Amino acid sequence: MPLESMPFSKALNAGLRKAMEDDDRVLLMGEDIGHLGGVFRVTEHLLRDFGDRRVLDTPLAESGIVGTAIGLAMAGFRPVCEIQFDGFVFPAFDQITSQLAKMTNRHEGGLSMPIVIRIPYGGHIGAVEHHQESPETYFAHTPGLRVVSPSTPNDAYWMIQEAIASNDPVIFLEPKSRYWPKGEVDLDASALPLHASRVVRRGNDITLVGHGAMVTTLLQAAALAETEGTSCEVVDVRSLSPVDYGPILDSVRSTGRMVYAQEAPGFTSLGSEIAATVQERAFYALEAPVLRVSGFDTPFPPAKLEGSYLPDADRILEAVDRSLAY
């Protein structure tokens, strides 16, 4: 079992490379992804190795990128589109929600749309507005789209390949603050299916649930709680639509308490949906209401305030204390 240590961004690069080697219908499209290798260098050297007919530098026109990808998918290709930053996806929003998500249904199942849209999202990089936001709820709310977000290099390597292999459109959300930390990647076999959630830390007293970069923060909070005698179980959602509720519900039925944490604003969010579903399906196992910790319901602030806006371990632990006090 070959294990290799690499940063999240390099794991994505390796996963894209493997998918392109395995299927010559896979091609990449995006702004500055070719010669530059993307602003985060996720596509570095892929133009050199696969040529400009499979790695396409596009104009600054997200609507055109996705619209062209739809046409290519109709012709039998498997396009992977890069949106440079989360806030730049909205010029393509109509193409994604009004066309891409509906094409298969519109053709009564006779047409597949094997398109992956890669979106770096989330904060912690000290950038300006449109560069640190978390728009996952817009896409999770849209029938016809699959939405996933890896939190580790190993998941990045395998989930990008599994997303490309899907015959349905996949919104692939990459937590940009995790691009640089390294982790071990198993190059032989995927640990889990694309749409499976996973327990990443065992505990007995309370369940902490989240996705993307927030999983690292939850693990930090769990480690701090342990020093104070509280045992936290941590669940990485991984798939935002569909959600695999099995491990979440099993954990909550064991601990009796749950906190959901996310960078996105809390109102009508993924955390809202998962909290409501857990309270419907595990009501009699709960010792306290499901609590949520999120970004505030305001536009993302200037960089010097992001530490106050984004949930940290202290805010999560405050919610843990409130839950345990019931």
Which helix or strand (DSSP H or E) is residue 56 part of?
strand 55-57
Query: Given this structure, which CATH class describes domain 3-186?
Result: alpha beta
Give the separation between CA 41 and CA 324, rounded to whole angstroms: 44
Residue 317 in 3-state DSSP?
helix
| Helix/strand/coil (H/E/C) assignment for every residue in 173-225 | EEEHHHCCCEEEEECCCCCCCCCCCEEEECCCCEEEEECCCHHHHHHHHHHHH
Instruction: Tell me phi and psi for residue 293, to 5 degrees.
Output: -125, 125
User: What does the DSSP assignment read for 63-78?
Assistant: HHHHHHHHHHHHTT-E
Among all residues, which ones are annotated catalytic?
131
User: In 3D, which of 208, 216, 8, 201 has the Cα closest to residue 124?
Assistant: 216
Give the separation between CA 213 and CA 125, rounded to whole angstroms: 12
199 C-beta neighbours (distance < 10 Å), count: 15
User: In 3D, which of 121, 123, 147, 150 has the Cα closest to residue 135?
Assistant: 121
Report which residue type is found at 96.
I
Give the separation between CA 220 and CA 214, rounded to whole angstroms: 10
Residue 128 pLDDT: 80
Residue 166 pLDDT: 98
What is 198-324's CATH number?
3.40.50.920
23-44 b/e (C-beta count within 10 Å ≥ 16 → b) = eebbbbbbbebbeebbbbbbbe
Residue 5 in 3-state DSSP?
strand
Q: What would the two tokens of residue 197 be?
A: 């959630």
Q: What would the two tokens of residue 129 be?
A: 């507005």
User: In 3D, which of 280, 7, 257, 54 has the Cα closest to residue 152?
Assistant: 7
Residue 126 pLDDT: 84
Residue 281 pLDDT: 98
Residues comprising the chain, all counted = 326
Q: What are the residue boundaries of the structural domains of the chain, listed by start?
A: 3-186, 198-324
**Mean pLDDT, the chain cut into blocks of 10 residues (326 residues total):** 90 98 97 96 97 96 97 97 95 97 96 97 86 94 98 98 98 96 94 96 98 97 97 98 98 98 96 98 98 95 92 97 97
Count Cα neighbours of 162 within 13 Å in the Cβ-side half-sphere: 21
Order the strands of the 239-241 sheet from edge to edge: 55-57, 26-30, 78-82, 116-121, 170-175, 146-148, 239-241
Residue 2 pLDDT: 78
Give the separation between CA 315 and CA 64, rounded to whole angstroms: 41
Confirm whether 3-186 and 198-324 share one CATH topology: yes
